[in-house]
Amino acid sequence: MTISSEHHSARRDAHGVAHRDAADHAVEHALQPVLKAVFGYDSFRPLQREIMLASLKGRDAVAVLPTGAGKSLCYQLPALVREGLTVVASPLIALMKDQVDQMQAAGVAATFINSTLESDEFRARCAALDRGEHRILYVAPERLVTPEFLARLARWKVAAIAVDEAHCISEWGHDFRPEYRQIRAVRRVFPHAPVLALTATATPGVREDIVAQLELRDPSVFVASFDRPNLAYRVVAKDDAREQTVAFVRSRGDESGIVYCQSRKSAEAIADALERAGVSARPYHAGLAQEVRARNQEAFLRDEVRVVAATIAFGMGINKPNVRFVVHADLPKNIEGYYQETGRAGRDGIASECLLLYSRGDVAKHLHFLADISDDDARAVAKAQLDQIVAFAESAGCRRAALLRYFGEAREESNCGGCDNCLTPRETEVVTTDAQKLMSCVLRIEQRSGFRVGLQHLSEVLAGADTEKIRRWFHNELSTYGAGKDRPRASWVSLGRQLLQGGFLEIAGDGFAVVRVTERGLDALRNRSEIRVTKPVAPVSADRARARDRGSQRGDAVAALAEADVPLFDRLRALRKRLADARGVPPYVVFSDVTLRALATARPQTKDEFLAIVGIGEKKYADFGADFAAEIAAHE
């Protein structure tokens, strides 16, 4: 079901109760003033209004919106215009506190219940919920579904249920959590409360699984564009990950960022290298004590540490809007995880950068881990996912278009203006002789054995390797055996992928397991045509790669500050930090960077001038307006 289903439902309802249109109209008009007065926004982002109206009409809904598109507002704003309590199933303790801090700063009666609360505080919050003092309640899925907690919920007039990070409910997603599947029990206890499932990443199969597992009834499904136009994507051949990461981070001034690493050891090493280079950095991985992880994350959120070097244990629910770069020092396992992790950059819409350091060595490490997966189906899925991210890294085409294709979205423009391949297209090279050897090897094996093989086995045959498989299948008797001893095996695999990209080879089996020669490849062999392919990514240092295209990032979402406004922005940022520290919250809870930029440009003094700034509502003006007006006046 798509958004058009929502429109169809609205037409169908129009044939029912006569006053429904008037009621819908009243609800819609109630949203706008609350959006401005509480959250400080003049308009909705794409699909937000439609998602809110579907929920307020009592319909179940699935919302797939990219990070930074305003998913949380889709249940927060309706909670303020409907009677009763909105319950939010949220996976992480840190995220709950962060969301509640932001809600309370905006003047919204929100709270959370989780394992961090002492018994007295837990009872106090339950008593406040008994009195109907809160409009929004955040709670972890595992607590939410217990019989005791469901009994409490029955007293709290539950009006709506929101499931955040809903992809966790699907085994087909990249972050499956079994406890999410129990959330259906809440729907059964409150059958009349509409359920809104929200996620930033969900393929069509995952969306179907969300609907089935949550037992959603004829839901409206809203899928926004997965494009993040303010993010620039770059892939650089990995030479020395630590040196390249340090050079890149130092080139980013005082900006905040995340460096993702495959192992705990690598995360520790890169954090240490950054510290020694004068960049404040902390590691984050599952091997650290819980209190150390919490302390490092908090320091990052509060702008006391610039960089976190982390395994994938870090990130879900990180609501820090001013992450300006994400570096993958190692190859991710799949495209979905890569998209999710890069999506933590630029949540506020300001231009940000995503750098991937790529090497065939990382691919070999992943293949080694895959060999340990005992389940054949699970191993095949993981292998196909790995091949997809490898193809992405090695592709000469638009990286933005490749990401969008993965999620089933077509891109009309041929040049996105925001990835390395579009900004500086790679050179081509003639590989006729070696390509003929490789394609001939593909054909010889198929003729001799009656089956096809993958690039790894082809590289071993060409290199003249002495393996058990080669001997068992008599591939050492082929005319192409050892014909490529002059090139390393990894080089033959790389050439194979170039031929796949060029359309001379294609995938013949499930995923990227085995290859065959295409008609184009056969024609090239028959006619002895020149074969030209795009060169693989070159080993250039990360800071040079960035300097080469400096200024070309797509910062359409927010205009850059004028030079004269930068000193004031720095003063306002320092004031924001002092006010946030006094309240014990991250700086972005006070104001986002977008709001600070607008303040530095507009330099407001009156209440009306402040309320005209994006992100400033009545409560935030009452709490912070005088301080910022004084700082702006002092700068004049």
Q: How far apart are CA 478 and CA 358, in angstroms?
A: 33
Burial class (CB in 10 A: 0-12, 13-18, 19+), 258: buried
> DSSP label at 419?
B
Q: What is the pLDDT of residue 510?
A: 45
Question: Do 158 and 85 meet the contact criterion of CB atoms below 8 Å apart?
Answer: yes
Q: What is the pTM of this model?
A: 0.77
In DSSP notation, 437-490 reads HHHHHHHHHHHHHSS---HHHHHHHHTT---HHHHHTTGGGSTTTTTTTTS-HH
- pLDDT tens-digit map of 294-324: 899 999 999 999 999 999 867 655 788 999 9
Q: What tens digit of pLDDT does each residue of 326-354 get?
A: 999 999 999 988 998 999 999 998 999 99
Supply the pLDDT for residue 561.
Answer: 64
| pLDDT score, position 542 | 42
Q: For residue 428, what are its two tokens?
A: 């081509």
End-to-end CA distance of the chain: 55
Q: Which residue has the tokens 């799949």?
A: 334
Whether the CB-CB separation of 229 and 557 falls below 8 Å is answered with yes
Q: What is the pLDDT of residue 564?
A: 60
Task: Determine the pLDDT at residue 535.
Answer: 83
CB 627, CB 610: distance < 8 Å: no
CATH class label, 3-223: alpha beta
* Regions of the chain with pLDDT less than 50: 1-19, 510-512, 541-559
Structure tokens that stand for 406 in this block: 């993965």
CATH 1.10.10.10 fits 428-534, yes or no: yes
CATH classification for the domain delimited by 231-423, as one of 1.10.600.10, 3.40.50.300, 3.40.50.2000, 3.30.379.10: 3.40.50.300
128's tokens: 């406040």
How is domain 563-635 classified at the CATH fold level? DNA polymerase; domain 1 (1.10.150)
- Two domains, one topology: 3-223 and 563-635: no
- Three-point CA angle 358, 362, 363, nearest 5°: 100
Domain boundaries of the chain, sorted by first residue:
3-223, 231-423, 428-534, 563-635
> Cα–Cα distance between 33 and 40 in angstroms, integer?
10
Give the pLDDT of residue 539. Answer: 57
| Nearest Cα to Cα of residue 249 among 186, 165, 329 | 329
Checking 45-50 for CB contacts under 8 A at 24+ apart, the result is 45/69, 45/70, 46/224, 46/225, 47/3, 47/222, 47/224, 48/73, 48/74, 50/3, 50/6, 50/220, 50/222
